[in-house]
Amino acid sequence: MLTVHVARDNKEEILKLSLGATALDAAKKLSITSPSESLFCLINKKASDLATSLQENDHIEFISFSDPRGKEVFWHTSAHVLAQAVLRLFPNAKPTIGPAIDEGFYYDFADLTISDEDFSKIEEEALRIIESNLQPKKHSLSKEEALFKFPNNPYKAELIEGIASLGEALTGYSQGEFFDLCRGPHLAFLGKIKAFKILKTSGAYWRGDAKKEMLTRIYGISFPTKQELKDYLHMVEEAKKRDHKILGPRLNLFMLREEAPGIPFILPKGMIVWNRLLDFWREKHRQYNYTEIKTPSMMTKSLWEVSGHWQNYRANMFTSVIEEREFAIKPMNCPGGMLYYKSTGHSYREFPLRVGEIGHVHRYEASGALSGLFRVRSFHQDDAHIFMQREQIQDVMKETLALADELYSVFGLSYTLVLSTKPEANTIGSDEDWEIATKALKQALETTGRKFTIAEGDGAFYGPKIDFRIHDALGRAWQCGTIQLDMALPERFQLEYTAQDGSKKRPVMIHRALLGSIERFFGSLIEYFAGKFPLWISPSQIAIVPVADRHVPYANTIRDKFFNMGFEVLVDDSNESVSKKIREAQINLYNYILTVGDKEVEAKNISVRTRDNVVHGEMDVEVFAATILKEREEKMLASPLTAPKTADVH
């Protein structure tokens, strides 16, 4: 018999198998073989196919479609299916590369011209391949064997020569008549793919180089169930309505210009949201006893060498030479925080010492990777560095997770947690410190009672981390907050504190950014609320529509009252019709639209409706004021007014 250890739900299960059993045999014994389960596995933390034979005391973790790593393998296998289908239909096409991406996959082909009209026949051929339930098989090849597999394909030859020159092993996968270079792993059977869709086609330069050949790129997506594909396509349509790159400029929130690629302009209404968001952040951090600092944006090369960024992050940094000295614009706030700590002596009595900063950082991102507010070159982080004694780690981690939960819950945001462990290379700090830090984060997560996943090797170069993946109304996930436990930077900067016995000791430090990039969080909120911000953070709170010119003075009186209460108020005294002014206010997503005419002027009240065109009718001004004050102070997600009817606006 063979004994193996299986990780399930962050616990370990011992399994007895026959000698020679594979990971697939273990999955079958555990009854985890549905299309979304056991897509591949980690055997002793190494990504492996399910066909891999097991050895005594192997540790196995099965990866499902719910895990981003599972999606990557599912979609990369699907990219091979796409390439196989294309070559069956267009045998003169030359396959190049086909990776998984954040949502689905693509494959690039030379000598191929297609249009949208070809999508259906490619899908039909892909489904025939899937229905045959072929089993992808891994092969090891010599350089000569690999080149023989791809005659007259200079793109594959270039890849093969590059891999061979690095001394790396050449491997590939076959499924039926199709063969492609690939490290793997892959799905055990193509039949796990139950839904397959071609999304679009575009041009793409070979290896992203505009000086090289233009290829034809085909994008696709696949799922373990047809319902998931249906839900995804519905989500795509809904997402178009929420796209922050469209809504942001239209609502006067932000803009992007070629004069500053990847660096957003925050516009007047965007600044209202921005400032309210930061006011809320400061309010919560004051409650948790944080102090706030601001560190310089540009510091000398020597500082970044001490921190390790120069060696590990140089390619992403903007640099300059001033008076024959090298400087870098900060890509992270950490080194400045270290200098602040070192500026004075510290005692254990101060710990935990919580130091926050809304730090403006710059990172070089390739132009092709830039995307609205989600991927930029200049952004603000709600950073903090918490200094403590080792025995305080658990309490501080629990406190930080609680603060994050409070921040997200105000917006109605749900989230999942991911623990990322030590990368394989280019890290700082001892193995012992990494082990202590990783164990501390895992234990803190376990105390929350929330489920979490583990991303092996995805930690920062200086320590393990916990990432928050925010989920929106459409089920999409955004990487926002992160918590990182770091024992290396305090060592590099020789930070000290005076312990209770009078000795000098090294503090432990947590880096954390809970909103993450303020720009990305802002973009996420735009899409999450589809621009319809809750009243407390809305940049367009009240629009007042006078029926005729004679009602404008009363409208301005109402405007002054609410403006003096701190609300954002507009009086639309244009010459347009009432219905058009109401429609304009709704298009611009004002929370409340107040109409004033003869009746309202005489009764000294207002007629109220919301941006969703729900009419609440005549209301006493003071009653309405008290209602929206409560709505703002309690940070309600929706109007507390009941909805008697919905009106038509023509």
DSSP assignment of 159-199 equals HHHHHHHTTPPEEEEEETTEEEE------S-GGG--EEEEE
Q: Residue 498, SS3?
A: strand
Task: Return the CA Rg of the chain.
Answer: 29
Using a 10 angstrom Cβ sphere, with 0-12 exposed, 13-18 middle and 19 or more buried, the burial of residue 293 is middle
Q: What is the rounded distance in angstroms from the CA atom of residue 85 to the CA atom of residue 150?
A: 17
Give the strands of the sheet with 137-141, arranged side by side. 137-141, 170-175, 178-181
Q: What is the rounded distance in angstroms from the CA atom of residue 553 to the CA atom of residue 568?
A: 18
Contact 346, 497 (CB under 8 A): yes
CA quadruple 454, 458, 462, 465: dihedral sign: negative
If you count them, how many residues does the chain have? 650
Contact 381, 337 (CB under 8 A): no
Tokens, residue 591: 């929370």
Using a 10 angstrom Cβ sphere, with 0-12 exposed, 13-18 middle and 19 or more buried, the burial of residue 429 is buried
Structure letter (DSSP) for residue 264: P
Nearest to 124 by CA among 94, 89, 78, 99: 89
> Tokens 């391949």 identify what position?
129
Residues 6+ apart with CB under 8 A from 247: 253, 526, 527, 530, 531
Structure letter (DSSP) for residue 439: H
Contact 385, 355 (CB under 8 A): yes
Tokens, residue 554: 């009363």
Nearest to 138 by CA among 186, 86, 68: 186
Q: What is the rounded distance in angstroms from the CA atom of residue 97 to the CA atom of residue 83?
A: 9
Within 10 angstroms of residue 138's Cβ, the number of other Cβ atoms is: 17
Catalytic residues: 334, 363, 381, 383, 385, 465, 511
Q: What is the rounded distance in angstroms from the CA atom of residue 563 to the CA atom of residue 544?
A: 12
